[in-house]
Structure 1
Amino acid sequence: MTNPLVEAFFVGRAVAEVLTERMENTFTDTLSELGKFEAEAKEHLRAFTEEVMEKANRAAEAAGTGEAATGMGQTSSSEPDDLQAVIDELRAEIALLRTEIQRYRSNSV
């Protein structure tokens, strides 16, 4: 390679190839980490939901009601059939409680 233009071409091409490979690796690593994070978040949410339901059931039993509440007056089993349905019910109750709190605050002012 005596011609500097030819040498610059090959160096530039090599730089572009190395940068492309590194960007691909970084992108795939990022997607992998994002997938792991999402899976871990779902697992934490499932564990949190189970813990909340267990505590609610224990509190209901301790209160002497004998009925384990899931959020909408249903009895719960040891394993929820549809986790998304339980989450949706909890979100609906939270929204209802927020509305009631806002109504209470606006009436007390």
Structure 2
Amino acid sequence: ELNFLVASNKNLESLYLNDTEWNDIDSIIELLEPMFKATKILSSSTYPTISDIRLTFKGLLQHIENYMNNHTEKECMMAESIRKKLADYWNLFDDPTTISTILDSRSKLLLQLKKKAT
């Protein structure tokens, strides 16, 4: 077990994470995991469409907002930095791509299914 290894080797003690540090790591994973999944999905798609990207960005921005509403100020610093960067990218293609997304039947179907589910 890891605890035994650290207890038997004092040189490792300073490198061993405490409970607070493990909690910080869990919080970072909670924040970053949806971005990892979104990156995998968009990069594995042969032809990601603008509507796919728009829906993904909106989902990520919503995730970050929810994260920031449920975590401490310290935990939100990284989330806010990511939110600002995503918002910058969002502003670059929001207006020019709105019409194409509205016309994409897949987007309409997804949004209609989501409304029915709630």
TM-score (normalizing by structure 1): 0.31
Structure with larger RCO (C-alpha < 8 A, sep 6+):
2
* TM-score between both structures, scaled by the size of structure 2: 0.29
Higher helix share: 2
